[in-house]
Structure formats: C-alpha cells, structure tokens
Amino acid sequence: MTELLVQRVSVALEHLKLKTAQANLLAHLHEADQRELPSIAFLDRLLNDELASRAERGIIARTRLAHLPIIKTLDSFDFDAQPALDRRSIAELQTLNFLERRQNVALLGPPGVGKTHIAIGLAVCALQGGQRAYFLSTQDLLDQIRVAQLDGIPGHKQRHLNTVPLLIIDELGYVQFDKSAATWFFQLMSNRYERRSTVITSNKNFSEWGDILGDTVLAGALLDRFIHHCHVLSLKGESYRMKTRQGATSTTGKTTRRAGPS
C-alpha cells in the first residue's frame, strides 16, 4: 500500500515538473521516518529542496545568457590594492539597490586597475540576486549596432539591449564610434534612462567621451542622462597585472607590457 502511494506521489511530482523533489523523495521519506518528523516538516524539506535547486538552475541559466567573458567576484577583489576606492560604495552596490532604482555605475581609470573585475562582480551579484544581466565589450556593441543597421529594424538582440535590467558596456574609450554608431548608442542610453541600469567601464574621463563618440554635443546629451543617477567610481594607480607580474618576476626584474585594450 505504502509503495503504491510513494509511486503515485512520485508520478505526481514528475507531472508537476518538480524534478528535484521527485529525485529526492525516497531520501526525504527515509529521513522523515528516521527522525519521526511531522508530515508538514517532511513537506517543508521536500519543497525547499526543490526551490533551492530551481534557484541554482536559474543562476546557471542566467549566467550563461549574461555573456560574461570570465567569472570574477567582488569577494576576490583586493581592496588594499585600490585604497582610493571606498569599500562602502561597493558594499552599497552589492545590495542591488541601484538596480531597483534604475541607477547607473561608471567605473573609470587607467588599464589594469580592476574596472572590468568590478563590473563582472556586480553582474555576478545581480545574477545571484535573480536579475538578468548582459555583458558586452564596446567592440561587441559596435558589431551589434552594425548588424542592427543592416537589418533596418530592431531585432531580438537589440531589443534585449534596451530591456535587460543590467547592461554592462566594457572598455569604452579604445574604439572610435562613427556618426551613426554614436547616434545608435545615444538612443540605446536614452531608452534605458531611468528604466534600466547600465554599467560602463572606461579608461577615459567623461570630458573625453566627446572624442570617443566623435560628437561633443551628442556625448554631452548622452552623459547628461547617464550621469543623472550614477555611482561614479574612480580607480587609480598602477596596473594590478603589472604589480602581480612584477611580484612573479622579481628575481629577474623583467616585465613585459601588453599592447592594446585592457
């Protein structure tokens, strides 16, 4: 009789697509039996098991879609190497209040100081918090703009850029925009203004964005929107890559500098 009931519950869990609960049903029943748990405690454990595995699967799926170049966490960020950076401002961003308030983040500074690391860390935080995020380098953005212009009408990817709750645009400053790409970028940022959060990392100060976009008036209008609700974090100092590399090669004293964007 009991076996029949277990079988029926297992089939019901399968129909309800409660895969983890179904897989762990016997273990939970055994535990409840051993510890003489009341039925509500058994049910509580079974359902929490299902919820936890769903949350985990959700994080994995969102992370796959976020297009992160590498996984970095804010926990692994060495704040001692970046004394100019206020830890409290990062802690505040980790609460994800900025996402709820549709605020932006600007990470500015020279190469190798951890701008991309922090941007990815924020994305990971958002993904774990149940939010969707999308990471793209400025070159990826320009490629997508080119595709959008060829297609004529906004496709799925372009709509995604407009609507994803957290968009990260990395390394603004190394690649020059032409007129139509700059206009497209301005439109994207206008669409996202006060509706979605954007993180931009750049090796250039705001005053130099006119040069990147090839149009100071357009850059001014874009910055006006972007900075209106924005956490501006300025990172300083030597490249962390160089520092760690110097440490690794201190016996020879030799270091090599890689050309191109960081």
Least CB distance from residue 37 to ligand ADP, whole Å? 45
The C-alpha atoms of residue 137 and residue 140 are separated, in whole angstroms, by 5
Q: Which does 192 bind (CB under 5 to 8 A by kind): Mg ion, ligand ADP, none?
A: none
Residue nearer to Mg ion on the CB measure, 152 or 260: 260
Residue nearer to ligand ADP on the CB measure, 58 or 79: 79
User: Does 191 sit near ligand ADP (CB under 6 A)?
Assistant: no
**Member of 22, 104, 116, 131 binding Mg ion (CB under 5 A):** 116
Interface of this chain with ligand ADP, residues 110 to 149, rule: CB under 6 A = 111-117
Interface of this chain with Mg ion, residues 133 to 192, rule: CB under 5 A = none
User: Does 241 sit near ligand ADP (CB under 6 A)?
Assistant: yes
Least CB distance from residue 238 to ligand ADP, whole Å? 10
With beta carbons less than 8 A apart as the criterion, state whether 217 and 224 touch.
no
Residue 20: closest CA among 61, 62, 48 = 48
Q: Which does 241 bind (CB under 5 to 8 A by kind): Mg ion, ligand ADP, none?
A: ligand ADP
In DSSP terms, 167 is beta-bridged to 134, 198
Q: Which does 22 bind (CB under 5 to 8 A by kind): Mg ion, ligand ADP, none?
A: none
Residues interacting with Mg ion, by CB under 5 A? 116, 262
Residues interacting with ligand ADP, by CB under 6 A? 72, 77-78, 81-82, 109, 111-117, 201, 240-241, 262
